[in-house]
Amino acid sequence: MYLKEELERRGVPALLKFEDGREVTAENWEERRLELVDILSREEYGYMPDEKFKVSAAEAAKPARDCAGKAVTERLTLTVSGSKGDFSFPLLICTPAKKPGGKCPLVLLINFRPDFPDKYLPAEEIIDRGVGVAMIYYNDIALDKNEWESGIAGMYPRPEYSWSKITMWAWAASRCMDYFETRNDIDFERVGVAGHSRLGKTALWCGANDTRFKYVFANNSGCSGDAITRCKRGETVEIIYRAFPFWFVPKYNEYAGREQDMPFDQHFVVAASAPRVVVCGAAEEDIWADPESQYLSCCAASQAWELLGEKGLIGVDRYPEPGDIFTKGKLGFFMRPHAHYFSRYDWNRYLDCFLI
Ligand code: GCU
């Protein structure tokens, strides 16, 4: 394990031990994985409603040719039906007009804006690599505010449902996946979920909950995302909870200033998608997220892939430097020069992993 001494110094909890003290093996990994999801639900992000939803899609506009005719963009309205009634939100899907074998891989971006294209969504470059891209706008699901009336939050309110805005956004991505499964032009073995910053945290949490996403791309997700919380620089539990209590369940705040008492750390959320592909992107100047702590999470989480006989993180035994790209294993990490952003550089790193 890379940076083993540093992980020990920070007192990061063991990944490969059950809460009851049993050893984790390749045979019981799935049981441990579900335990990780349960711990993170209980302590940090909350639980998704425990029911089966039905989805249907309607055209919101006629499909249009895009990207010089290389792509087709569909604007849909997805309706999710559950015990509390129907809930609808817009879903955009842009796929290559020519799909070899009639199918294409697809990345679902949970985005900050409803615009298409958008500065975080370089559609033509993605299409040119043979990949489709879908997008939802997170405020269409539930507002990024400390209120519980909007969107799905109003239909499944707290405290009756113990969830958070991050869990609601992740839940919506899974409902998109329900819909993708009804189509015959998507390669289900290659569907990924991506997000930046708070939505990178969301992408990680979505991948942990929904194994149908075979790729998880967490860009600059940092605190309460891919960064080890213990002894982290920049943002802490206390700071993030004070500013964004609604991203979490109230229990998380008990660890403000008491990170050492957490029965988990963020390598759990990274490992909860093992042995699928997870790539964590950091940015050199993003001290708030803390690239060193982001890399440490990957070092610790890699044990899950290795336990299963897979290539985990193929990296180096030191903290990362700008320009480092460690994406040869199924757990990838890279550190882009410059600041917090979802850039084309980042997309290209994710697409490199997607297309091998
Ligand atoms: C704030 C927050 C971060 C978050 C970021 C974002 O800076 O402190 O945790 O990742 O917003 O989502 O842009």
Span from the CA of 192 to the centroid of ligand 1 (angstroms): 22
| Domain limits, the chain | 2-352
> Tell me, what's the pLDDT at 355?
76
> Tell me, what's the pLDDT at 348?
97
> Tell me, what's the pLDDT at 347?
98
Mean pLDDT for back-to-back runs of 10 residues, the chain (356 residues): 98 98 98 99 98 98 98 98 98 98 98 97 97 98 97 97 98 98 96 99 99 98 99 98 98 98 99 98 98 99 98 98 98 98 98 85
For the Cβ of 235 lying below 6 angstroms from any atom of ligand 1, the answer is yes
- Rounded distance between C-alpha atoms, residue 209 and residue 48, angstroms: 9
CATH code of domain 2-352: 3.40.50.1820
Burial group, residue 154, by CB count within 10 angstroms (0-12, 13-18, 19+): middle
Span from the CA of 197 to the centroid of ligand 1 (angstroms): 6
> Tell me, what's the pLDDT at 33?
99
> Tell me, what's the pLDDT at 356?
66
Helical residues (DSSP H) of the chain, grouped into ranges: 4-10, 29-40, 123-128, 151-155, 165-180, 198-209, 237-243, 267-271, 291-307, 344-354
Span from the CA of 76 to the centroid of ligand 1 (angstroms): 29
Sign for the pseudo-dihedral over CA of 7, 10, 15, 16: positive
Question: How far, rounded to the nearest angstrom, does the alpha carbon of residue 190 sit from its chain's CA centroid?
Answer: 15
Span from the CA of 229 to the centroid of ligand 1 (angstroms): 15
For the Cβ of 197 lying below 6 angstroms from any atom of ligand 1, the answer is yes
> Tell me, what's the pLDDT at 354?
86
For the Cβ of 349 lying below 6 angstroms from any atom of ligand 1, the answer is no
> Tell me, what's the pLDDT at 292?
98
For the Cβ of 222 lying below 6 angstroms from any atom of ligand 1, the answer is yes
Ligand 1 atom 12: residue of nearest CA: 198
Report residue 283: phi and psi, to 5°.
-130, 135
Q: How many alpha carbons fall within 13 Å on the CB side of residue 133?
A: 25
Structure token pair of residue 226: 């891919």
- Rounded distance between C-alpha atoms, residue 125 and residue 214, angstroms: 21
Residue 87, SS3 per DSSP: strand
